[in-house]
A = this chain, B = another copy of it.
Amino acid sequence: MPAFAKRLDKVTGSAIRALFSLLGDPKIISFGGGNPAKESFPVDLVQKYTDELYKQDGAAILQYGATEGYKPYIKACLDALLKNKGLSGTSANLLALTGSMQGIDLICRTFLDPGDTILVEAPTFLGALQTFNLYQTNIIPVAMDNDGLIMSELEEAIIKHRPKLLYCIPTFQNPTGRTLTLERRKTVAELAAKYDVVVIEDDPYCELRYSGTPLPTIKSFDTTGNVVLLNSFSKTLSPGMRVGYAFGREDIIRKMTICKQSADTHTSNITQAIAAEFLTNNALAPHLESVIPMYSKKLNAMLNAMDKYFPTECTYTKPEGGLFVWGELPYGIRTLDLFKTAVEEYKVAFIPGEHFYPSPELGYNTFRLNFSSESIERIENGIMLLGELFKEAINKKTIDNK
């Protein structure tokens, strides 16, 4: 067998996949996932629109489509989605994606040669980290506080490392749940223009807001075309459909389209058409209104239980939306070491935070919790159990240190 490509040298598959092989048991309360709640999917409406679409012109939907996207989908995204965000453009600014993960890959393909540098939030989405590794990229983590990326750290990293790209999830970030403030969004756009960096603004959670005021995208402050906005319907309608889009400067979208020709020719017509139906029938907003109270209750249940059961030495974020809460234990405690005990003895799962850093040692004492897939009762119970485990670990460390 010929040797595998060098790009695979540093990549071993999703790091948490191995952990999840421990999670067959339904008795285990899992905060480890990241899936939308099963009960959030608008099955009946999807079915209704599908029927109508096949009746209208089934053959057109089953035929090859354009790489750029299904025309009604492109139009609906521009008119019914982006306009509401204060973003205007033509079909040349939009590319349909097979999920926004594909957008990350296509921007990398468009810009990155081996050895090029990309800046990422520390911590960040691990699927993105894996992709950046596949492009043999130099990945530089930039520190965050509770308001997202720290601007002085970002500018310093740009000057020092001269990156081509910055990857940023500004709203209810995965894994931290943090949201970049309005002022910082402006600053990111300004720094990108000043130092000629392309920003991948990955914003899949922005519609899942349970409190506070919606913020404009970084893209809306972009005067030079350096920001490419990625979004998808995975968190608002259905991840199984695999539909998203990239919105950006025409020349970048054109190169991404060329790369997409080789990646999968085009995104499935039917799933694009269904998403378009939700937009043109004004059905997305009411659907979200029906889903958000359910998520909001689950998030509040988790945060209240954390206030009640977690040791005071444990700090955590208090997100206004999204699917994740992020926590930190005292220095010296490695959450990966606690994972096996959590699952096997306490029957509760979380994700050790180190997987979300390009260098695991940066976040060895952190963890991510997801609240979307469990009932309120199980959330409270699971957090109580985790609280016990964390207290035990802190006590043990205190004793060890004596």
Contact = CB atoms under 8 A, between A and B. Distances in A.
Interface in A1-49: 1-8, 11-14, 35-36, 38-39, 41, 43-44, 46-47
Interface string A251-288: 11011011101111111111100000000000000000
A134 to B, nearest CB: 5
A99 B260 CA distance: 12
A110 interface: yes
Nearest to A65: B240
Copies of this chain, how many? 2
A58 B41 contact: yes
A3 B162 CA distance: 13
Contacts of A252: 1
B63 A41 contact: yes
Interface residues of A, number: 82
A63 B36 contact: yes
A292 to B, nearest CB: 18
B266 A197 contact: no
A47 B58 contact: yes
A176 interface: no
A14 B239 CA distance: 30
A242 B261 contact: no
B5 A110 contact: yes
A265 B101 contact: yes
29 contacts: A1-B196, A1-B225, A1-B252, A2-B197, A3-B111, A5-B109, A5-B111, A7-B113, A8-B110, A13-B261, A14-B261, A35-B63, A46-B54, A46-B58, A46-B62, A62-B237, A63-B239, A63-B240, A98-B264, A102-B263, A102-B264, A109-B134, A127-B262, A130-B258, A130-B261, A242-B265, A242-B268, A263-B264, A268-B271
A226 B1 contact: yes
Contacts of A2: 111, 164-165, 196-198
Interface string A45-72: 0110011001100111111110000000
Contacts of A197: 2
Contact of A98 (B98, B234, B249): B98
A113 B13 contact: no
Contact of A238 (B7, B62, B109, B239): B62
A92 interface: no
A255 B6 CA distance: 12
A227 B268 CA distance: 28
Contacts of A305: none
A131 interface: yes
A207 interface: no
A268 B241 contact: yes
A384 interface: no
Nearest to A133: B262
B11 A258 contact: yes
A265 B267 CA distance: 13
Contacts of A241: 62, 268-270
